[in-house]
Structure 1
Amino acid sequence: MTPFKLTDELLDQIQLLIEAGKDSDLQESMQEYHYADIAEITNELDTEQATYLIKLLDSEKTSDVLTELDEDVREAILNQLTPKEIAEEIAELDSDDAADILGELPADQVQGVISNIEDKEHVKDIVELLRYDEDSAGGLMAKELVKVNENWTVLTCVKEMREQAKNVTRVHSIYVVDDEEILKGRLSLKDLLTTSTRTDIKDVYIPKVDYVRVNEKPEEVAKIMSKYDLEAIPVVDEIGRLVGRITIDDIVDVIREEADKDYQMAAGISQDVEADDSIWELTRARLPWLILGLIGGLGAAAIMGGFEEMITKHAVLFYFSPLIAAMAGNVGVQSSAIVVQGLANDDLKGSISDRLWKEMLLALFNGLILAVILLLFTWFWKGSFETALAISISLVVVIIVAGLVGTFTPLFLDRRGIDPAIATGPFITTSNDIFGILIYFTIARWILGI
């Protein structure tokens, strides 16, 4: 299969068909595209053209297109649709996707849409999902699943599964519950096919089943599903009743969003933005960290000002101050990145003291190697062993301190419930720059006797 690629020629062709009102040609051309490809096309159209396309195509396809659109594009399109038209789209979606879209609409508009959905069971499921915090397993799950009662026979089970499967896009697992809807286990399709039709389900189901509770954080759900290679995981309420399931496609979205957020935070962007956002939104996201960097630079300049006399006598110290600051920042970011990654993957073992001790030894080893190279270079260049020694010793200490700060900071933030990814950005770089400059000139003054 050749990957879809949106070209200017294709986009121009679609826009011409829309402007000319050639509906049959447009519908025919869209038949060959996956809904994700149509969403990519729609994202590039203006609001009027995008709305025209959504209204023209069958809701069975455009409902999925809506879930793939950029949020601002989807919002603009939904504002052009009537509650009845939105209801037609919502009716074709699984409950989790339907709840996500309805959650973006104003409350009065939600009521109008819900009143136009004919399937009342679907409405009930959507309304239930809307009650959950979107940043929870409950807000992530779908109500569509296949479940059987432990007291049913295999024959009854098969009949019920056929009926339930009509509303499920893909059957990942068969869950077993008791008369109170408490999750008891899961049912193997192989066991179901090879067991007598008169056998009770409670005699063949597998009692061991991984699950999450409705208030679990999406990140924790992602860790569990990743660890056990699950395509889907059941969700239970506070008393263990089966209320839904989360599928791998939803978790991929969570992982991608979390990765995007951490990447932006590491780059010094304080909120979720995209390249196409307005200048004002991009400024609000970037400016706070740039101000922090400015303050850090002013702090470093002030520290250097306190050593003006020493710098005057030993100008070579000034030449190496950018190197010291850069090494401090780089080592700090390296250390914090490893810790943040370990926290995210839940594979960071041992106590904080053990982690700090290991980081100190690693920093010492790396620092000594770099210091020897710097010592030889500076001694050969300037001919002063004492000055070269002062700079080299400063480098070792700066690297050790930067490594400890880069390790401790994300661990401390994580213990306080703050996203540790903040420690991989300008925060850690700026703080280590300041520490590095202060340590550098303090040690140099001590060794050079100024």
Structure 2
Amino acid sequence: MPAHDSARDVYRQALPVILVSLIAGLFAGTVLGSETMREGISDVPGLLLLLPAFLATRGGVYGSLGARLSTGLHQGLIEPQFQLDRRLTNAIVASFINGMTVSVFIAVITYLWLRLFGGAGNLLELVGIMMIAGFLSAVLMITVLISVIFVGYRRGLDPDNVIGPVVTTLGDVFGILFLLVGVYVVGTVL
């Protein structure tokens, strides 16, 4: 296959996903700039500090899952079906544990950073928010990522062409929304 056909296929497969990602990113920015989000940020010291780290790690953790699944599909080690085999289960569990661990780690580092520089912060509140946001984003991202990869693969799409924009978009849009949910739930409990 000539190189220009391959580049054309990549462009054809990735462009629609990138356009959806653009629109979803604008939505995430709108949510971030909303009055509700500003109130949530101002009510929880350190939330603005941990926000970029939380959003960035969603892409890292779940992008790795997408890459593992894509490689498994290309090598024939994973079937594009919703059946849990050992490889798929291990990849899902590892991603979930990594996502939750990094969420708690971000909360602890944020708290220590605030304390180091004389800011106020509540460790329990930050950890609670991050556990809720981390859990909800893990469940959603794993489910949607597996669905997009398997359905796309069965329809002839190369998962490598769509994983990046899907993970980035899901991480940004739902990461922000789930942080708000975490702020609300923890604010109600504490």
> TM-score, normalized by length of structure 1?
0.34
Aligned counterpart, 1:297? 25
**Which whole-Å deviations, capped at 9, do the CAs of 1:143-174 have from their partners, x for residues lacking one?**
xxxxxxxxxxxxxxxxxxxxxxxxxxxxxxxx
1:366 equivalent in alignment to 2:98? yes
Q: Which runs of 5+ in 2 are unaligned?
A: 115-120
Aligned counterpart, 1:381? 113
Q: 1:410 deviation in Å?
A: 0.6
Q: 1:323 deviation in Å?
A: 1.9
Q: 1:434 deviation in Å?
A: 1.1
Q: Which has the larger radius of gyration?
A: 1
Aligned counterpart, 1:124? none
User: Within 2, Cα distance between the matches of 1:408 and 1:375?
Assistant: 30
User: Within 2, Cα distance between the matches of 1:407 and 1:319?
Assistant: 30
Q: 1:440 deviation in Å?
A: 2.0
1:44-55 correspondence to structure 2 within 5 Å: none
Name the SS of the counterpart of 1:447 in structure 2. Answer: helix
Structure 1 pair 350/427, CA: closer, same or farther in 2 (3 Å)?
closer
Percent of paired sites with the same residue: 23
1:7-406 correspondence to structure 2 within 5 Å: 254=1, 257=3, 261=7, 265=10, 270-271=11-12, 291-304=19-32, 305=34, 306-349=36-79, 351-354=81-84, 357-382=89-114, 383-393=121-131, 394-406=133-145
Name the SS of the counterpart of 1:347 in structure 2. Answer: coil
Q: 1:442 deviation in Å?
A: 0.9
In the alignment, is the contact (CA less than 8 A) between 2:130 and 2:179 conserved in 1?
no
Aligned counterpart, 1:165? none
User: Residue 395 of structure 1 aligns to which amino acid in structure 2?
Assistant: G
User: Within 2, Cα distance between the matches of 1:344 and 1:368?
Assistant: 28
1:427 equivalent in alignment to 2:166? yes
Name the SS of the counterpart of 2:46 in structure 1. Answer: helix
User: Residue 316 of structure 1 aligns to which amino acid in structure 2?
Assistant: G
User: Within 1, Cα distance between the matches of 2:147 and 2:136?
Assistant: 16
Aligned counterpart, 2:182? 443
User: Residue 437 of structure 1 aligns to which amino acid in structure 2?
Assistant: I
User: Within 1, Cα distance between the matches of 2:146 and 2:3?
Assistant: 25
Name the SS of the counterpart of 1:354 in structure 2. Answer: coil
User: Within 2, Cα distance between the matches of 1:375 and 1:323?
Assistant: 10
Q: Which runs of 5+ in 1 are unaligned?
A: 1-253, 273-284
In the alignment, is the contact (CA less than 8 A) between 2:96 and 2:138 conserved in 1?
yes
**Which whole-Å deviations, capped at 9, do the CAs of 1:166-223 have from their partners, x for residues lacking one?**
xxxxxxxxxxxxxxxxxxxxxxxxxxxxxxxxxxxxxxxxxxxxxxxxxxxxxxxxxx
Q: 1:384 deviation in Å?
A: 0.9
Structure 1 pair 423/294, CA: closer, same or farther in 2 (3 Å)?
closer
Q: Which is strand-richer, 1 or 2?
A: 1
Structure 1 pair 354/294, CA: closer, same or farther in 2 (3 Å)?
same
User: Within 2, Cα distance between the matches of 1:368 and 1:330?
Assistant: 13
**Which whole-Å deviations, capped at 9, do the CAs of 1:118-153 have from their partners, x for residues lacking one?**
xxxxxxxxxxxxxxxxxxxxxxxxxxxxxxxxxxxx
Count, aligned residues: 177
User: Residue 97 of structure 2 aligns to which amino acid in structure 1?
Assistant: F
In the alignment, is the contact (CA less than 8 A) between 1:340 and 1:410 conserved in 2?
yes
Q: 1:338 deviation in Å?
A: 1.6
User: Within 1, Cα distance between the matches of 2:112 and 2:130?
Assistant: 13
User: Within 2, Cα distance between the matches of 1:437 and 1:361?
Assistant: 23
User: Within 2, Cα distance between the matches of 1:372 and 1:292?
Assistant: 30
Structure 1 pair 431/257, CA: closer, same or farther in 2 (3 Å)?
farther
In the alignment, is the contact (CA less than 8 A) between 1:359 and 1:404 conserved in 2?
no
RMSD across aligned C-alpha pairs, in angstroms? 3.4
**Which whole-Å deviations, capped at 9, do the CAs of 1:235-282 have from their partners, x for residues lacking one?**
xxxxxxxxxxxxxxxxxxx5x959x649x94xxxx259xxxxxxxxxx
